[in-house]
Chains A and B, each alone.
Chain A
Amino acid sequence: MFYDLCVPWPKAVTASSAVEYTRSTGPIPDLFRTVATLQALGYTTIAYDYELSGKIGSNITSPIQDDVFSASLPNVTFLSRITILLEDAAQSQALPSLTTKFDILAVRPTTEKLLLAACTSLDIDLISLDLSQRLPFYLRHRTLGAAVARGIRIEICYSPTTRQADNNARRNLISNAAALFRATRGKGIVISSGATSALECRGPYDVANLATLWGFTQEKGKAAVAGDARAVVVHARMRRRSYKQVVEIAVDEDHLRTADNKRADEKELQKRTKQEDVSKKNESLPRQGSKKRKATDS
């Protein structure tokens, strides 16, 4: 039960380009090698990550075809994720429209103000920082603690350590990861690969051991790859499919597998949540904090 929540979806493959199965090297065969390696290493859930920066249009389509390798790797659950490079507060306005298109929402803030916004008010699942660079802000316990209390987790991508020949990136990653551990005391951290090639992947226990170098204990290291990562997936699911994480609309899981059915169900879900919105207007709602704990227990 290990999760890898960041396998970058190759930029060259867009929603409209045909997914070609060829023997030559290319983005899709490379992606397959990466994903197959992760599967061989024991990861059971893999999330493709689409990175987006700049202005986000309201009618963006997800280029991720997460069932591309489902037939060859049937025991793996594939998810789609978007990471928004947050440079401007206006970008967060687009978040509601992205909920239906991607399974997991992640944000990469570039300034301290945006980090604070992400931790305290944005409706996201994951905060991902580029730890291979020197961060332009300090990681404070108060800010990150607020995120963890809301159920948002912070991600460390370990690929800079396994990528070749970049000592600076490796050192920055170790330094930032240790600072992150100090600021959060190890709670609410998720470690994922960010692997662009099969060479950068590592087994889950090896990753947990790396975490012990950054200050984690063995249990917390393992939780970062297993339990906390699972909590992110559950949090994302609750955010999409339930009303304020109180009521979940039971939709048949198998039914959701096909893309068409997925879209149809989303539409129905939106319709239903709108109706409930209206009916619940006069009732008092339970506080978000208490209910969240129930939704994310493992």
Chain B
Amino acid sequence: MVRFKSRYILFTVHYPVLDDIDAISPSNSSASNVQPRFQTKKAPPLSDGNILPGGKEGNLGKDMRTLLQRRPAPDGVTLNAVNTAFRDAVNRNFGDLGAGLVRASVSLKYFSQATSTGIIRVSRDHYRIVWAALTFLNEIAGVKVMITVDHISGTMRKCEKVAISKNIKVVRELSGDL
């Protein structure tokens, strides 16, 4: 039997220029009013509010990196928004041919607003089209984004496992190993 093979693309949405990232690091004397979306369990000690330490607070650089990696989705970036966005991207970048090739098989299987992680299912023959469309995508519902593909696998289970292990790593970095 010739089985239908598919690829599950695990991707993360990043927001490298989202403004409220500044709110997550402690400010200087004038406190910012924006509530951070999530708190680090053990905030690193910061003597001044500078976001770019000149070597004094190496921890902040590390936190900044971790926060740049994973953060919850801002309002507007919902499952439906992501769904529309990436199909649009396929359409815009690959035209009718690309959209047609993947149409029957592509579906957004999972998207979590808490972790900005999602899984797309595509047929194995044309997964690179969807992968490239995700790379070209730079805006979802008005929010400027950057998408990285973390894992591509033949089964959804493997993608889930990789997603979990990456999240564990991030949580560990944020809360434990300073």
Contacts and interface: CB of A to CB of B under 8 A. Distances in A.
Interface residues of A, number: 34
B128 A39 contact: no
A246 interface: no
B51 A21 contact: yes
A197 interface: yes
Contacts of B56: 71
Q: Tell me the dominant secondary structure on chain A's binding face.
A: helix
Given A40-B65, A41-B148, A198-B146, A164 B139 contact: yes
Given A23-B50, A28-B52, A71 B58 contact: yes
B138 A199 contact: yes
A210 B55 CA distance: 36
Contacts of A73: 61, 65
Interface string B35-69: 00000000000000111111110101100111011
B17 A199 contact: yes
Interface string B129-144: 0011011101100001
A36 B135 CA distance: 19
A71 B27 CA distance: 20
Contacts of B55: 70-72
Given A23-B22, A164-B139, A71 B49 contact: no
A161 B92 CA distance: 13
Contact of B51 (A29, A197, A202, A207): A29
Given A33-B68, A36-B65, A206-B147, 10 more contacts: A21-B54, A39-B65, A69-B52, A69-B61, A70-B55, A72-B64, A73-B61, A162-B138, A164-B138, A199-B145
Q: Which 4 A-B pairs have the closest CB atoms?
A: A72-B61, A71-B55, A198-B16, A21-B52
8 contacts: A23-B27, A28-B52, A33-B68, A36-B68, A40-B65, A161-B136, A199-B144, A203-B148
